[in-house]
Amino acid sequence: MNTTAPTSPPAHDNPLLDFSGLPQFGAFRPEHVTPAIDTLLTQARSAVDKAQADTTPATWTDFVSPLELATEQLGRAWGMVGHLNGVADTPELRAVFNENLPRVTEFWTSVGQNEALFAKYKALSQSAEFTQLSPARRKIVTNALRDFRLGGAELISPARERYAEIQEQQAALSQKFGENVLDATNAFTLDITDDATLAGLPDDALAAARQEAERAGVAGWRFTLQFPSYFPVLQYASNRTLRETLYRAYVTRASSAGTPTLDNTAIIDQILSLRAEEARLLGYDSFADVSLVSKMADSPVQVIGFLRDLAARAKPSAHRDMTELRSFAAENLGLDSLISSDIAFASERLKEARYAFSDNEVKQYFQLPRVLEGLFGLIGRLFDVTISRDTAQTWHADVGFFRIERAGQLIGQFYLDMFSRPSKRPGAWMDDARGRKLISADLQTPVAYLTCNVQAPVGTQPALLSHDDVITLFHEFGHGLHHMLTRVDELGVSGISGVEWDAVELPSQFMENFCWEWDIVAAMTAHVDTQAPLPRALFDKMVAARNFQSGLQTLRQVEFALFDMRLHSEWQGVASHTMTLADAGAATATATATEADEVSSTAGNAVQRLLEEVRAEVAVITPPEFNRFQNSFSHIFAGGYAAGYYSYKWAEVLSADCYAAFEEEGLFNAETGQRFLREILSVGGSRPAIDSFKAFRGREPSIEALLRHNGMVEETFHAPA
């Protein structure tokens, strides 16, 4: 069997049309996008025409495989453009991306509504051949039938045309939402010239701010809303006014408090209205019902019950956390009343007092090169692979490229983009550059993008990571392992493809646990100045503090998830709101410009009221009135987590239970590692996630490990099944 070794020179003048190997980032220019998409759309439409023709048999070889090949090339090229749009944004790239987004969206919508293709998939599913297909191929066919129904293939005009319009509008609005968040983040800077104002900030945060000021040609220190610049101020700055200034700017990004053209309020209303209309067209009560068709959870009611149950378990400890924090702040920090911009600062001081260490002290031991060495060593021990540096064109000089091998055979490769910069959207994520597939004797190995946003190196020092940064890196690498260690050769269900969204976080959250194991941490730490390893005594303090404010942290995630699920499941017909979103959307469509602004404001207020209702139910920290968290909630308005944010907690039940097997059988037990690889990572989406879990654990999921890991042991809990 041959594997594609992606080192061949470009086969085309246009790098987006070269599929001989890795993406040709060095040759890419924005002007390549439109001609490439022209060519690929023509090829894909031709493949669709051939696939739907009466003369094409409804078989895997004649029908499914050729269609998959043509559409995969379009997906890979557009995926490269989309990735660059997220990590190397420029006005030119943004313009050409937005120009082509409707065309690509229209094509995929038309495929999803193609009755002839739908009929052929149904014919294949009912044929004698279907029973002879491999389980992976049967799963692809089954998924396709589901997706055709969700894609509007059974709709009748004019509903079909309206559904297509909705998809294009949603794609454009989601893109605009993300652009507004990025632009609003970049629009704010705060320059400080009085060093007394910066009391309490760690040296590395000051050095980064000084470097930022020098780049901008201004005196003193420059702070931005990029997380590595913003959060140290919240966590360490003694100046309360400085903390509040940064906090207010951060939580009002892309809202009416800033530049009007970057305000996401109306966009939120339009997205929600379109999603509700989509659900009605498809015959569902809500968009949440649509979202859950392809997930493990059965219904919005089940998810909401799960979240409320978890909130009930976490609330007692969260109340204790806040009572203690308020008391400590009043007695030791002179803060008689805590406001939201005080929470991180007071919490860090309390943790230092209780456990005699600070996050910044720990950060000095986590040098990025050493962390990567430890992470790669762990992966090698667990799954019998080796990771080494590789060579490829990248989109930025800071981006690294690596290969994964087993017994000298290439398994997968990945790009690692670690550092924050203005052209890169916030957050951390994994995406696939290409998936694994086998055609004849040629194996296409998977390639992943791994993206984080930590502070870039300052001066001659290597980049330093907080322990939270390390956890985030391990998390995203877990997604990468899921994608790259697959052994499934069918593109539609290899790696992360076809995996239920509320199970896709299992491998990522599983990997986080290793950040709390002494053998792992010791191997990846060395003090930036002395190169001394992390002292065991300091690590023990970190472990003791692991569940520090875990109740508050759990409720924060529940708050976001419950808001998301209620927003998408209860919106139409919630009596407590003065205007349903459907009403707001209809009114906006027929109103004058002034009236539309008023309608948008009313609907926006309704979204805010719903968020406040959720907070009143589950939260113990109430943000200030000006907080507009929802306006930068990209997960659900510009990502794939709409009516799915609960997945983080849902999958955490599964991941904690899987990790418990390693705790029970031995952290580096070779058989346990191979079983996890075989039953979870390798199978991708080729079978239901619950079947993969049970194949690994030999039973249904249990909540016990999650509660134990979070310091919230309870006797009863309704775990997802």
- Residues serving a catalytic function are 476
The 10 Å Cβ neighbour count of residue 76 is 18
Helix (H, G, I), strand (E, B) or coil at 433: strand
Q: ∠ at Cα 218 (213, 224), nearest 5°?
A: 40
Q: Is 26 exposed, middle or buried (0-12, 13-18, 19+ CB in 10 A)?
A: exposed
Which tokens belong to 213? 């000021």
CA 478/CA 649 separation, integer angstroms: 16
Alpha helix positions (H), 283-299: 287-292
- Residue/partner pairs of 604-607 with CB below 8 Å, 24 or more apart: 604/265, 604/266, 604/268, 604/269, 606/577, 606/578, 606/579, 606/581, 607/268, 607/269, 607/272, 607/567
CA 499/CA 309 separation, integer angstroms: 26
Dihedral sign for Cα atoms in the order 54, 60, 62, 63: positive
Tell me if the bond preceding 720 is cis, omega within 30° of 0: no
Beta strand residue intervals within 484-552, DSSP E: none
Contact 585, 572 (CB under 8 A): no
Beta strand residue intervals within 130-254, DSSP E: 189-192, 221-224
The 10 Å Cβ neighbour count of residue 721 is 10
